Structure 1
Amino acid sequence: MLRFLSAQSTLILWLIFLVENLLVTAIGLLAGWIILKLGKKPIRPASPTEILTCIGTNLINTAITYAGFWGWQHGYLIFGFDINWYIIVDFLLLFLAMDLAMYVLHYAIHQMALYKVIHRFHHHYRHPIPIDLFVLHPLETMSFGSLWLFTLALYHFNFYAVLIYLSLNVVFGIIGHLGVEPLPAKLRDSYLLKYLGTSSFHHNHHTDIKYNFGFYTSIWDRIFKTYKA
């Protein structure tokens, strides 16, 4: 795949990455819609602002994707391609590293004047819907994208571990912005899911911005006393 991409012109690469990002967004939103429909939950229609912002976020994410590919071509990002058990190790390392890094960035934004300028845009709706995963101020989208590329540059992650992480990133994002909790309390409190970022976990952040800054887990919120059940 990477060899194929390397043979393409810059314009074709941008088009491929744009289609990729739009397709991922469409699949994620469709999955969120299906979950809400199966749960027979009322679905608030997306506003024109949400739709336009979602498109803008995809354009910025396309630029970030291209920057990552360019970084790999020029040796700034180095990936392993072996298929072995290290894939799991690299995935867990990337998963926890990004969870901590995004927790720190997310918490910092809420403590500064930047919140009023940038992040409050994402908190316009106290009860989000799946599309709100992509409703971010452009500067915030670029900040998270830069954090992502910086993390990849720190360590030679396995390429397949990166793909697994990116897939789960969308899954957690959609779940966190369902606006309702599809899982029963008994299952959420089970040992398997207790420390993961469920829909309720992130929904509580939207209703009370002083708590639950984590993305994939509640680990850092529990450690730094910002957790709210």
Structure 2
Amino acid sequence: MQQSSEIFFRILGISTLRYFILAGIPFIVYYHLITKRKHAAKIQYRHASRGDFAREILHSMQTTIVFTAILYLVVYTPLKKFTLFYDGITDYPLWWLLAGPVLALLIHDTYFYWMHRLLHHRRLFRFAHLLHHKSTNPSPWTSYSFHFIEACTEGAVFLLIVVVVPMHLVSVTIFVITAFVINVYGHLGYEIAPLWLRNTFVFEIVNTSVYHNMHHSKFKGNYGLYFRLWDRLMGTEHPDYVKEYDAIQQRRLNNDPANE
């Protein structure tokens, strides 16, 4: 029992450190060090308050505990035998260590879209999702700022993933870090995508910081997490998204002779 608690708190410590490093560094850089130079890239010119940041960090710690508990249940309890989680790094080809996280991201995006739309139902929104939307002008700290119910529904995707996708701890780590970095970018409050992205096929597929920021400011539309695909298929992409994105990128272009 003591060993189990030690493992749990070790994972919790690592997850907490990851949150403060991967969310904290962008926050320090964009909200303190180079605010003036990057002003043109700010999606909403106003800033959230210190109270907003404190609320977001507090609830992110709650979410971190929930996510840690789910990971612990999958990897370190008898629940593991009902999953495809594997320990031997050579149990599958080494290339699967990267293929697994890619599949996990695709599954997660689909799961998130439909879960997210469900949480926007008027009978569920104020109980589970309103807390996240108190951050109408999100920052990196917003990334894990969920109500306990939403944290559980968000974390449940990991159970689904390991039931259908063979995952080693290395793959899980790659998936978790990649997902969180993208999440931080979506909540950054600044559009830092390279200007050349607009004229590529990739732009038609992936989300941007503007994309998710509009969801926070408008409350409707742009429900996807990583990709635009489900929003475009279901007609839920905000009609002003491309116009807003182009306007902010034009601001950046005009403000920075080096085109960033």
Q: Spell out, residue by residue over 1:119-140, the C-alpha distance to the aligned partner (whole angstroms, 9 max, x if none).
A: 0110012111111112110110
Match for 2:173 among 154, 163, 169? 163
- What's the offset of the Cα at 1:74? 4.0
Asked whether 1:29 is paired with 2:20, we answer: no
- Measured in 2, the distance between the counterparts of 1:193 and 1:45 equals 32
- Measured in 1, the distance between the counterparts of 2:154 and 2:16 equals 18
If the length of structure 1 is used for normalisation, what is the TM-score? 0.86
- What's the offset of the Cα at 1:165? 1.4
- What's the offset of the Cα at 1:112? 4.0
Which residue of the partner structure matches residue 249 of structure 2? none
Which residue of the partner structure matches residue 60 of structure 1? 66
- What's the offset of the Cα at 1:19? 0.6
Mapped contact 1:100–1:220 kept (Cα < 8 A):
yes
Mapped contact 1:71–1:77 kept (Cα < 8 A):
no
Higher helix residue share:
2
Which residue of the partner structure matches residue 16 of structure 1? 10
Which residue of the partner structure matches residue 102 of structure 1? 112
Q: Spell out, residue by residue over 1:172-194, the C-alpha distance to the aligned partner (whole angstroms, 9 max, x if none).
A: 11001112212255424532344
Which residue of the partner structure matches residue 128 of structure 2? 118
The alpha-carbon distance between structure 1 residues 46 and 136, as it changes in their structure 2 partners (threshold 3 A), is: farther
- Measured in 1, the distance between the counterparts of 2:150 and 2:76 equals 22
- Measured in 2, the distance between the counterparts of 1:64 and 1:211 equals 29
- Measured in 2, the distance between the counterparts of 1:34 and 1:189 equals 31
Asked whether 1:218 is paired with 2:212, we answer: no
- What's the offset of the Cα at 1:46? 3.7
Determine which structure has more spread, i.e. the larger CA radius of gyration.
2
Which residue of the partner structure matches residue 154 of structure 2? 144
- What's the offset of the Cα at 1:154? 2.5
| Matched residue SS, 1:204 | helix
Mapped contact 1:86–1:158 kept (Cα < 8 A):
no
Mapped contact 1:35–1:182 kept (Cα < 8 A):
no
2:220 aligned partner, one-letter code: K
Q: Number of residue pairs matched?
A: 223
**Matched residues, percent identical?**
25
Q: Which moved more, 1:54-63 or 1:64-73?
A: 64-73
Which residue of the partner structure matches residue 75 of structure 1? 81
Match for 1:51 among 51, 54, 57? 57
Mapped contact 1:188–1:198 kept (Cα < 8 A):
no
The alpha-carbon distance between structure 1 residues 164 and 206, as it changes in their structure 2 partners (threshold 3 A), is: same
- Measured in 2, the distance between the counterparts of 1:155 and 1:110 equals 28
| Matched residue SS, 2:155 | helix
Q: Which moved more, 1:93-102 or 1:69-78?
A: 69-78
1:147 aligned partner, one-letter code: V
The alpha-carbon distance between structure 1 residues 45 and 90, as it changes in their structure 2 partners (threshold 3 A), is: same
RMSD between aligned alpha carbons? 2.4
Q: Spell out, residue by residue over 1:134-166, the C-alpha distance to the aligned partner (whole angstroms, 9 max, x if none).
A: 211011001111222122112323543332211
Is there any run of 5+ residues in structure 2 with no aligned partner, and where? 40-45, 242-260
Is there any run of 5+ residues in structure 1 with no aligned partner, and where? 1-7
Q: Spell out, residue by residue over 1:93-125, the C-alpha distance to the aligned partner (whole angstroms, 9 max, x if none).
A: 211111001111001111241112110110012
Which residue of the partner structure matches residue 202 of structure 1? 212
- What's the offset of the Cα at 1:14? 1.5
